[in-house]
Amino acid sequence: MNVPHLKFVFKITVIGDGGVGKTSLIKKYTQGTFEEDYISTVGAQFSFYDEKINGDECKLYFWDIAGQKEFDFLRSDFYEESRAAIIVYSLEENDRGKESLNHSIVVIFLSLFLQIK
């Protein structure tokens, strides 16, 4: 029996402080490339990754959200209806890195909680 193939799209939010490597990580995953120069993301960048799983098309839609403080006012609105979040923090700045991770986790859970409500 022929099983009809399905099409899935999932929004994945990528967050973390500015300059920790969010854009580089996503670019490496989706395009296989790496840029040495640092260019900060303005607002948000969008990337895709397509995969076929058991014949079904699956598209991951990455929202790489700017980490600079200037975009704090906007960030949580971009999380809306995300299926997953990737929190990125730098190991080079140990204490600040953990603080940033904890902060990001809290923000994500709060946003998800508000969405469910």
Partner 1 sequence: MGARNMSTDKGEMLEEKKAIENYVESIYIYDNAGLCLTSCGINPENLNENIVSGFFTAIKKFGEKLIPGTVVKSLIMSGHKLFYNNFEKITFCIQCYDDLPNQVIEYILNRISNKFLEVYQDHLPIRNGNITIFSDFYNYLLQFMEQPLIEGLLEDFGYKVLSEGVILFDENKEKILFAKVPAEYSSTKQISMSGMLINFAKKLSYEYQGGDVNCILISSENRWICVSKREYIYIIVLFSKTKNIELNIIVEKTEEILDDILKMLKIELLK
Q: Residues interacting with partner 1, by CB under 8 A?
A: 4-11, 43-44, 46, 48, 59, 61, 63, 73-74, 77-78, 80-83
Rank residues 6 and 106 by Cβ distance to partner 1 and give the closer one: 6
Rank residues 34 and 46 by Cβ distance to partner 1 and give the closer one: 46
At residue 97, what is the residue type? Answer: G
Give the side-chain half-sphere CA count within 13 A for 102: 6
Minimum distance between the CB of residue 15 and partner 1, rounded to whole angstroms? 15
Minimum distance between the CB of residue 93 and partner 1, rounded to whole angstroms? 29
DSSP 18-55: TTSSHHHHHHHHHHS---SS-----SEEEEEEEEEETT
Rank residues 83 and 96 by Cβ distance to partner 1 and give the closer one: 83
Q: What is the token pair recorded at 38?
A: 């640092």
Q: What is the token pair recorded at 108?
A: 């994500």
Minimum distance between the CB of residue 72 and partner 1, rounded to whole angstroms? 11
